[in-house]
Structure formats: C-alpha cells, structure tokens
Copies of this chain bind each other. A is one copy, B any other.
Amino acid sequence: MSSLTKLSSNKTFGGHVIKYEHASTELDCTMKFNVFLPKEADQSPVPAIYFLSGLTCTEDNFIQKSGAMAEAAKHGLALIAPDTSPRGVSIEGDSDSWDFGTGAGFYLDATDPKWAKHYRMYSYVSKELPELIKQLPIDATRVSIMGHSMGGHGALSIFLKNSAQYKSASAFSPIANPMNCPWGQKAFSNYLGDNKDEWEQYDTVELLKSFQGQHNHVLVDVGTSDNFLQGELKIDTLQQTVDDLGRADQWKIRYQEGYDHSYFFISTFVADHIQHHASYLK
C-alpha cells in the first residue's frame, strides 16, 4: 500500500481538515484527497462519510463550500473528499471539454484501451481509498457514501454495487440514469464503448432494478429550479423505478422548491444528509 503524504492541516470545528497526496495504483498517477477528522478521532477510530464531487470539481469544492464540517463535528464523523478524475496524465482529448476527461472520471473503470490505464475511479473510490484510509483513525466497518451530480451518480451506483460495504447512501442532484442523458452517454460511450450491458453496470436506475442487497437507506435531494433536472438528472425515472419496485420506504426522494444545482443548494440541506448517515453509522 502506498503511503500518505500530508500536504496541509487546518483546524476547523474542533477537528482538522487534512490534505493528503499519494501514489495511486489504480489510477497510475499522483492523487490528492481531503479528510475532515473530528476531535473524537484523537481518541479512537471514528465512522466516516465519503463525498464524491461533480463535474469540474477537485477534492476542495465540497470541503470549502458545503459547510458540512459543522454538522459532521456534532456527530463525531469523518468526511473523505476525493478528486473527480486522474490528474497529471496526458491523454489526447482529456481537456477538450468540461464534461469529459479531466475532472469528469464518472466513477467507472474504463474499458476503452485509450482510457483504461488511468480512468479507474470506480476501483479507486470503492477499493483503493478504503485500504488507504486504514492508515487514518477511521473505523473501516462504519462508512457511508454521498455525492453531488456526477458524484451523486457515483455514490448511488457504488452503493448499489457494494451495499455490504456502506451503511447508507445519499445524493444531491444525482445523474440517476446516465444511460439516458447526454452527459452519461458521452462518458459511457467513450470510456466503455458501445456495449450497453457494460453501461448498465454503472447506471443507478438499472442497478436498482437488479438490486438484491439487504438494505437500502437512501436520501436524495434535488432542486426544482435545477437547470439540469429534466435533461440530465432523470430523477422522475428514478422515482418511478423506486415506486415500481416497492422501495419508496427505503428511498426518500425530495424535490426542494426553488433550489438550483449549486453549493447554495447543497449547503442548505447538507446537515440533513449528515444526520441521515449518522443515524446508520452510530
């Protein structure tokens, strides 16, 4: 296992936000992530929540803009905020658009030969990071996962594929059915090729249909003034699938009147999400 290099540490809400750098074996490049460790971590390992960010973000956006540490500190929970794609690798076309390539790893393992060496964010988040954080005072048996937009897709799909690994999941404005929206189709066709069977392995709506896990503790918030609500997020399709499967008691999907896709929306409801996870992590 590679070692973690501490780049910075800032005290906040009685704990610390720490930025780490490390060599990633899955992504074959140097990566950074942020961790918030509450003061309780000085005494013994604490439960943690992963937060997966959206298109164009780095490991910093959530930590700087969400206000989540205020609530995480109240519950003695750690927060883990990874980056959104491999960094410092040079692949033709990886910086041509804001919704594909750098900053847009889509939390999958690419199979297209051009991308397959580095673009393995699914395995990075679900396998490599959980091993790495064993070096930190985090209780690896009590973790949950959440995210925003592309990261909401990541959180829900990774949760459905590894439900024994996470106590609960939540998402803000997730790309819920990427197979059927422009962002997802662009990413999946380039990273995975044309085989729709492979696409289904990273699509929340499709994964939910075949889900056989024991539990489903999921909270989803989306704003009714989100410009991407109809074209990209497909929350109605997710709600219909939840209803058809009789899982409405396990999937709480809330439409928040007048809110948009920004951190002004996330910060308003992030305390609700932390409380949701805390109830399953305690």
Q: Which residues of A contact B (CB under 8 A)?
A: 10-14, 17, 64-65, 67, 69-70, 223, 225, 258-260, 262-265, 267-268, 271
Contact = CB atoms under 8 A, between A and B. Distances in A.
Contact of A12 (B12, B14, B70, B268): B268
Contacts of A258: 11
Contact of A70 (B14, B64, B262, B267): B267
Contacts of A259: 11-12
- Give the 4 A-B CB pairs with smallest separation, nearest first: A67-B67, A12-B264, A10-B264, A11-B258
Contact of A268 (B13, B223, B262, B268): B13
B225 A11 contact: yes
B263 A64 contact: yes
Contacts of A64: 64-65, 263
A132 to B, nearest CB: 23
A12 B13 CA distance: 22
Contact of A67 (B11, B70, B260): B70
A258 B17 CA distance: 13
Contacts of A67: 67, 70, 267
Contacts of A11: 223, 225, 258-260, 264-265, 268
Contacts of A265: 10-12
24 contacts: A10-B260, A10-B262, A10-B264, A10-B265, A11-B223, A11-B259, A11-B265, A12-B259, A12-B264, A12-B265, A12-B267, A12-B268, A13-B267, A14-B268, A17-B264, A64-B64, A64-B65, A64-B263, A67-B67, A67-B70, A67-B267, A69-B267, A70-B267, A70-B271
Contacts of A14: 268
Given A12-B265, A67-B70, 6 more contacts: A11-B225, A11-B268, A12-B267, A12-B268, A17-B264, A70-B267
Contacts of A12: 259, 264-265, 267-268
